[in-house]
Amino acid sequence: MRSSLLRLKMRLRPVLLTLTLTVSVAYYVYIPLPASIQEPWRLMLVAAAFRTSMHLASLRDWLGCDGYFKSVRWPPESFDGSGKVGDSSESGGGVVPGVKVSDITFAGIPVRVYEPPAGGEGHLRRGLMYFYGGDWALGGTERRSSDALSRTVSDELNTVVVSVVYRLYPEVHFPVPYLDCLAAAKHFLSPELLAKYAIDPERVAVSGASTGGNLAAAVAQEISNDDTVSVKFSIQALIYPALQTLDFNTPSYLQNQGIPVLYRPLMVRFWLRYLGADLSLQPQLLVNNHSSSHHSAVSPELRARTDWTVLLPPKHKRNHRPLVVGRGSPGLVKEVPGLLDARASPLLAGPEVLAKCPRTYILTCEHDVLRDDGLMYARRLQDAGVTVTNDHHEDGFHGCFSFTVWPVEFDVGRRLVRGYLNWLQNNL
């Protein structure tokens, strides 16, 4: 009898161990998600992998092995998925064979140029400058997905695409990434360079996703209002852009604060890093202490530019109430002047600036902390007389536009990219 019990215990041990491990993994991976998000378990796995990579990067940083952000960035050698760097014009591989790809510099800024396959000589081509996201610091998966996107745009739309490799945190802070992108944009728009690549000066776009959308919006504003630039962008296409730092308690920030892959506290930390501020200020920004009603620098006119109670459609305001603190921390704005700089927060630009912006496409996702940034910008541009297309997706979440490349592929991502391509086809 005793020997039988012992054998039974021995047989049950691996079963119990497997069950324990399964429950532990499920507990780590599982996140409650809205019913409208398709492929929820795939998103949970992506979120778990992201958390794990961040934890491992933190451990490496603590051990002194490497810088935190450097350790989670995609290796530069994998930019085009071919493992080649430098001039890859003859590779012909990657996502779209036949697209000529070259790594060069524009005004000293590294860029990757994608030229469509030969053919159609004598006809001018479209031009598009693209800024990938990655929260001004990471850029890993974003670089890889933007490479696939750039090849597709170049091939399908007969477009010369320029992806700008701007400098990242922690090596630099604002305004360096913005200035890198602006310098590359001015070089791209020069008549000499447009002629070199046979680009129609009336069909040149600027685009970007997430923090890349932030840079695209800021660059578009500057170019549109700079009288020394003879050729302007004809359109701007912004993918769930980050556009303001005054209010981290908009309905979308609160509604989606726990939705992967961009969590509310994480976005605030990315803003602080970008602006070169102390991360200990995060709790203050999370409760809007930096934009209290007693801050003389935050005028009523400036506050109105991010007033979601006026700028958002009723269905997105729901039952939320604005959080405007009475006293707050008056010294925060002086300590972090970038908080009120329209080059960092394009939503803060005045109506006279917005009125000169080009025709605009703004993609927003329902399950994204940045949803309201995009919706408010669309409304303000429309109020300024700009033609705007707001492509809103009820089942979208932050990052899904980039989730189209193996091993991270989502149906919603492919659908968003197709809508983006169709809009460019019809408007550029």
Mind telling me the catalytic residues?
210, 368, 398
Residues 6+ apart with CB under 8 A from 66: 60
How many angstroms separate the CA atoms of 2 and 8, rounded? 10
Tokens of 252: 């979308």
- Could you tell me if 353 and 221 are in contact, meaning their C-beta atoms sit under 8 angstroms apart? yes
Distance CA 180, CA 109 (A): 6
Adjacent-strand bridge partners of 239? 209, 363
Contact (Cβ atoms closer than 8 angstroms) between residue 282 and residue 318: no
Q: What tokens does 141 get? A: 């998966």
Which DSSP string do the residues of 378-395 spell out, in sequence order? HHHHHHTT--EEEEEEEE
- The tokens describing 150, both together, are 């750039």
204 in Cβ contact with 159 (< 8 Å): no
E strand or H helix at 316, and its extent?
helix 314-317
193 HSE (CA, 13 A, CB side): 18
Beta-bridged to residue 208, according to DSSP, are 131, 238
Distance between CA atoms of residues 221 and 380, nearest Å: 13
Instruction: For 109-152, give the DSSP string.
Output: EEEEEEEPPS--TTS-EEEEEEE--STTT--HHHHHHHHHHHHH
